[in-house]
Amino acid sequence: MTDTTLIAPQRKPHALELAPVFIFLVLALAPVAAAFGPETYLLGLFTRVMVFAIAALALDFICGYGGLVSFGHAAFVGIGAYSVGILSAHGVTDILISLPVALAASAIFAYLTGTVCLRTKSVYFIMITLAFGQMVYFVAGSLAPYGGDDGMTLQVRSTLLGFQPFKNDRVFYYAVLLFLLAAYLACRAIVASRFGRVFRGAKENPVRMATIGYDVFKYQRIAYVIAGMIGGLAGFLLANVVEFVSPAYMSWQRSGELIIMVLFGGIGTLYGAIVGAAAFLLLEDGLGSITENWKLIFGPMLVLIVLFARGGVVGLIERLTGRAGRG
């Protein structure tokens, strides 16, 4: 007779464990729903949601798991976007060139600035990242050959070996979705790896991690470069979405919006950044259609979320599903 006590019980997956699957399923089916409405507008809106979700995901990676609150993260987005714009102005539009250049430029900037920023802690880290972000913002505004403060328009979206696959909005949408999925899975794998455990440990107790023998600064700088590259990817895609490049992409206000997205969705969850980006942009779009002073409505909503829904939207859902399960 089989001893059933030796058989481990099958644990039912928690609802939030399936949340990423549900999120990507909804995003995959969104174009189908968009076909029943203003398709071009809805595809453009949800494409922007995914692009900013990539940028917010990168910020959540270093902020939620490493405690590195960057107020200049939009600089990486701007660098990625300007890499596309500047190359396009010189007739180089192939994605096999522009994407690596965007990633490399963002990585180099992250490495150089990270070497300085990571020497500081707490509010000093926040302020110095803000300073570097504003530095890049003013440099972009001074680039007169590339539009200066007015920005520059892309004549064509990025091409691939002479073809224009991104010209089709639906194809471009799914390409962005694949980039978002790849960024999410990459961050999730890194967090779960040995590197990720050290990185998370440095957030909790950097002195202990250094005592054990880990170079905390090295791990944090690598993570900062990874986040910068993902931010550059978001900038590359953003330039192709709107077919326009502007210094506004790297302003401190944009960095603040990315932080809000992370907090709104749920910091330290990765998929919460996707939820936060969607909530922020959809609320902006919906409230903006009602009044131009939509931030007067959104501001109190954010305050209520922070005060009464610790962990953002994800944390709120977790508590509600927990109560329902106990009920």
Type of residue numbered 236 = F
User: pLDDT truncated to tens, each residue of the chain (327 aa)?
Assistant: 444 443 444 444 455 667 888 889 988 988 887 777 777 888 888 999 999 999 999 999 999 899 899 899 999 999 999 999 999 988 888 999 999 999 999 999 999 999 999 999 888 999 999 999 999 999 988 888 888 888 888 888 888 887 888 888 888 999 999 999 999 999 999 999 999 999 999 888 888 888 888 899 999 999 999 999 999 999 999 999 988 898 988 988 889 889 989 988 888 888 889 998 998 888 888 887 787 777 788 778 777 777 776 677 777 776 666 554 444
> Residue 45 corresponds to which tokens in the numbers above?
């809106």
Domain boundaries, the chain: 39-262
- Model confidence, pTM: 0.89
Local structure of 244: helix, strand or coil? strand
φ, ψ of residue 7 in degrees (nearest 5): -95, 120
Under DSSP, the state recorded for 245 is: E
Question: Tokens 């950044």 label which residue?
Answer: 273
Q: Which residues contact 158 (CB under 8 A, 6 or more apart)?
A: 84, 93, 94, 95, 98, 99, 166, 236, 240
Q: Which residues contact 237 (CB under 8 A, 6 or more apart)?
A: 51, 54, 176, 179
| Dist CA 3 CA 281 (whole Å) | 55
The per-residue pLDDT for range 78-101, each reduced to its tens digit, is 999 999 999 998 888 899 999 999
> Residue 177 corresponds to which tokens in the numbers above?
């979705």
Q: Alpha carbon 248 to chain centroid distance?
A: 17
> Residue 305 corresponds to which tokens in the numbers above?
């979320």
| Dist CA 314 CA 301 (whole Å) | 15
Please report, for residues 44, 52, 65, 209, 235, the alpha-carbon distance to residue 48 in angstroms, rounded to integers and kept in the order given: 6, 6, 25, 39, 11
| Dist CA 247 CA 290 (whole Å) | 28
φ, ψ of residue 322 in degrees (nearest 5): -70, -40
| Dist CA 245 CA 228 (whole Å) | 18
CB 236 within 8 A of CB 99: yes
Q: What is the DSSP string of 113-170?
A: HHHHHTTS-HHHHHHHHHHHHHHHHHHHHT-GGGTGGG-EE-SS--BBTTB-GGGSHH
